[in-house]
Structure formats: C-alpha cells, structure tokens
Amino acid sequence: MNTETIDNIKMIAETAREFAEKNIRPNIMEWDESQTFPKELFHQLGEMGFMGIVVPEQYGGSGLGYHEYVTILDEISQVDPSIGLSVAAHNSLCTNHIYEFGNEEQRHKWLPQLASGKVIGAWGLTEHNTGSDSGGMSTTAVKDGDEWIINGAKNFITHAISGDIAVVMTRTGEIGAKNNSTAFVLEKGMPGFTSGKKENKLGMRASETAELIFDNVRVPDSHRLGEVGEGFKQAMKVLDGGRISIAALSLGTARGAYKAALKYAKERHQFGKPIADFQAINFMLADMATEIDAAELLIQRASTLKNAKQKMTKEGAMAKLYASEACVRISNNAVQIFGGYGYTKDFPAEKFYRDSKLCTIGEGTSEIQRLVIGRDITK
C-alpha cells in the first residue's frame, strides 16, 4: 500500500474506533443480555458510510476498498463482535450480492438505500436441512407469467426479522442438478414473506438471527438477480468476499480479547509483581500477539487480491480458517489469563470467548474452508 492509502486507513480506523467507543461500548452488556438488535445504531453507521463500504459512490456507497473494509470491521469488533458481525453481513452478503450481480436498474433501486443504512439487508442461503449442502435446498421458485412463486424457509439468517431487503437463493431446477439455483431480491411487506423463530444464541447476541419464511410469495421477474440457474455460482462468489469479512471479524474479536488480557496481566499482581512478568503468562501473550499478526497478514493478502479483482478463493479461505481458529484460541487464553474473573460478566473476556466460536462456523465452517483449500491446491 502507498503512503496515501496507509494514511487514509489510519484516519478511517480512528473514526471507527471513536464511533465504537461512544456509541457501542456503553451498551454492550445490555444488548447482549436482552439480545437486542440496535437497529437505530445501524442507521447511524450508515450516516458514517459504514453500511456501503465497498459500494461505488455512484450507487450511494463510500467507494472504499477491502483494506478499509477490514479496518472498520476490526475496530468495531474489538469493542463488540456482534455489531461487527451485522455490519459484515449487511455489507458483504446482501449489499455486495446486489452490486456484483444486479443490473444497473437494480443497483440504483436498492444500493443507495442499503448503503445509507436506512434499510437493513439480509441474505438467505442456509436451510434447516441443508447447511453446507446448499445445492440441495428445498426453497423453490416457480415461474408464473411475469412473476415467480417462492415457497420454503431459510434459517440462521442475520437480520431475518429487522431486515428490510433480503437476497434469497431458491431452487429453480431439480435437486442435485447443475445450475439449479436462482437468486431474488425480496422486500419486507410482500404477501407471504415473513420471519420466524429468533435463535437464542451462545454469543453474538446483539446480532439478530432468525428464520425467513416464504408462503406463496409472488416476486416480479425484475427482482431476479442474473440469469436463471446462476444463483449458486453467485452465492459462492459472494462467499469469497464473505470469508474476508468473517476473517476481519475474527481479527477484531481476537484483538479485543488480547488487549483486555494484556491490560489485566499488567495490572494484576501476584507474589509481588504483575502476572505479565511470569513466563507462563508472558509466553501466552506472545503467542496471542503472533497469531493476530499472522491472521492480519493473511487477511491483507486476500484483500489485495480482492481489490485487484483477481481470484482469491484459496487465499480468502485460508484467511478465514486461520483467523477464526486463532480467534477461538486467543479468546480462550484471555479467559485463562483473567482466571476466575474471566468467567464472570464483570470483565470482557467471557463475552469475547462466547462470541469467538461463531467465527469458525458462519459463512462456511472450518471444515468447508479446508475443503476449499484442499481442492485448490490439488487440482
């Protein structure tokens, strides 16, 4: 990166940090305990330009690149990973899918609303019986004149209740057939389009997760993204960028846990000195710092390729795999350094620990990342 880009990233980091400290930190545990999705906060994030980060300015976005995007997610997630998760899902899934595969009319219709944060985006791929096996989805779309009739349900969907616009993958061919999926944009208020059960989660509790339900929802053909049968291919390309998002979320979560543990280790005294001076704790902190730097370098490599519009499937999967698993290890060690206090809600370690696990599951499990990497290196 050149000097101008580095200076711009530093300025963006400071802006995101100040926003998070002022508007997010005071509410962390209240939102977590009540599982409140603070929708108004996301309108404010939109005013900051954080809800359409990589969307070009001509569509109302900030027109930034993936290095800046990662920086924003990192800073927000250091304070509250659940808010970082929702920012990531809105930007990289729903909004990015429309930008990457929508036509000009569709981009101008939906992207300005999403980028402003005035409307919240959701993205529907996962189903109750088809998690990683998304090619066998049961949600169907059947053509009826100039409309499509959609039936089925999606689960584990971020913003399923509070979202205003959802990009939904449907099956338009036979189960197991090639090119059997098509993507549509659905708007809340369409008859038959509702939300269902809200999940009671271990972590990321301020990021809303629930079902999307489709009961004979009539969708105009003008809401179809791309050609019939291209939905699954589109989703896989969207997830390439989504892996950078979850890697950045993991990085911020890990960094937040590490900073809390480092501060505590310097302040906590045992046997007449800070526990950070004891080799067992010192080595633990050293490993945590090293893994954070390694994760960041993998993320920056994937981001550079993404900015250059080069293939980065393997690199994105590597960044997501390593960063997410490092995040769990680092958050676990943070609890250990805090000792008994790490097991209480009076200190931040326990929440980072609970939040961290989602990073190894969301937008492709660690096992799926290894599958993606393995296929790439052996083909």
Bridge partners of residue 123, in order along the sequence? 167
For residue 196, the tally of other CB atoms under 10 A from its CB is: 14
Contacts of residues 14-18 at CB distance under 8 Å and 24 or more positions apart, as own/partner, are 15/48, 16/48, 16/50, 16/71, 16/72, 16/75, 16/76, 17/75, 17/78
Res 135: pLDDT? 67
**Mean pLDDT for the stretch of residues 265-270:** 98
% of the chain beyond a pLDDT of 70: 99
Residue 130 has pLDDT above 90, yes or no: no
**Mean pLDDT for the stretch of residues 338-343:** 98
Residue of 75, 230, 350, 363 with catalytic role: 363
**177 Cβ neighbours under 8 A, 6+ residues apart:** none
Of 378 and 131, the one with more pLDDT: 378
pLDDT tier at 2 (50, 70, 90 boundaries)?
A: confident
Bridge partners of residue 274, in order along the sequence? 269
Residue the block writes with tokens 């993991």: 250
Sign for the pseudo-dihedral over CA of 334, 359, 69, 350:
negative
Instruction: Please report, for residues 5, 127, 262, the alpha-carbon distance to residue 47 in angstroms, rounded to integers and kept in the order given.
Output: 22, 33, 34
For residue 194, the tally of other CB atoms under 10 A from its CB is: 16
Instruction: Please report, for residues 182, 258, 266, 288, 330, the alpha-carbon distance to residue 277 in angstroms, rounded to integers and kept in the order given.
Output: 58, 16, 8, 16, 19
CA proximity to 203, closest of 72, 303, 353? 353
Q: Are 51 and 45 in contact (CB under 8 A)?
A: yes
Q: Are 297 and 251 in contact (CB under 8 A)?
A: no
Neighbour-count burial of 7, counting CB atoms closer than 10 A to its CB (0-12 exposed, 13-18 middle, 19+ buried):
exposed
For residue 162, the tally of other CB atoms under 10 A from its CB is: 17
Strand boundaries in the chain, DSSP class E: 121-124, 140-144, 147-158, 165-171, 181-187, 193-198, 209-220, 224-225, 269-270, 273-274
Q: What is the pTM of this model?
A: 0.96
pLDDT tier at 120 (50, 70, 90 boundaries)?
A: very high
Res 247: pLDDT? 98
Res 6: pLDDT? 86
d(CA 133, CA 120): 27
Strand boundaries in 57-146, DSSP class E: 121-124, 140-144
Instruction: Please report, for residues 84, 251, 290, the alpha-carbon distance to residue 297 in angstroms, rounded to integers and kept in the order given.
Output: 20, 11, 11
pLDDT tier at 176 (50, 70, 90 boundaries)?
A: confident
Q: Are 196 and 347 in contact (CB under 8 A)?
A: no
d(CA 217, CA 228): 18
* 217-266 per-position pLDDT tens digit: 999 999 999 999 999 999 999 999 999 999 999 999 999 999 999 999 99
pLDDT tier at 175 (50, 70, 90 boundaries)?
A: confident
Q: Is 363 a catalytic residue?
A: yes
The backbone torsions φ and ψ at residue 345, rounded to the nearest 5 degrees and listed phi first, read -85, 5
Residue 133 has pLDDT above 80, yes or no: no
Instruction: Please report, for residues 57, 91, 185, 277, the alpha-carbon distance to residue 242 in angstroms, rounded to integers and kept in the order given.
Output: 21, 9, 18, 39
d(CA 245, CA 249): 6
